[in-house]
Amino acid sequence: MIWTIINDGAQAYRGIIPADCWVEPYMSQQKLQHEINEGVVFSAFEEAGSVTGVMGLQHVHDVTLIRHAYVRTASQNQGIGARLLSHLRQLAPGPVLIGTWASALWAIRFYERYGFQIVDNQEKDRLLKKYWSVPERQIETSVVLAEERWRATKQ
């Protein structure tokens, strides 16, 4: 179910992210299992017996990462992502960071509505290398957004 929702929701990125970063399916079942094995814990949004959104939480060192946030295409723009984000933030023991594609402006605006701010490029590169396991090409084409708790620890 998680795999199906991720790959359905990820269709929004087709043609938006660099073509050399797009694969089909967007996330393989093996990659999903790898992410779970690496500590990503998924929460799901269920309504009327149907799961329509998923979002992962991963504790890495001194931060919590929001990972793999997707809502079924037919259920987008109904507040599901906001509810999942709010729920996971309550579970986060430390500052929260989110990585997403730089060209996914809708995703960036979504997180900004909930108080996250993009970090500068130098900090983004450092954070992606420290807390994520992503290829160099993804680092080049991504942004990291941080919540105020993280920014307060950097003062």
Note the pLDDT tens digit of each residue in 109-120: 999 999 999 999
Instruction: Count Cβ atoms below 10 Å from residue 126 Cβ, excluding itself.
Output: 13
Note the pLDDT tens digit of each residue in 63-104: 999 999 999 999 999 999 999 999 999 999 989 999 999 999
For residue 143, what is the domain's CATH number? 3.40.630.30
Model-level pTM?
Answer: 0.95
pLDDT at 152: 85
- Per the structure, the complete domain to which residue 66 belongs is given by 2-153
**Count of structural domains, the chain:** 1
Longest dimension (CA), the chain: 45
Distances 32 to 64, 135, 151 between C-alpha atoms, Å = 18, 16, 30
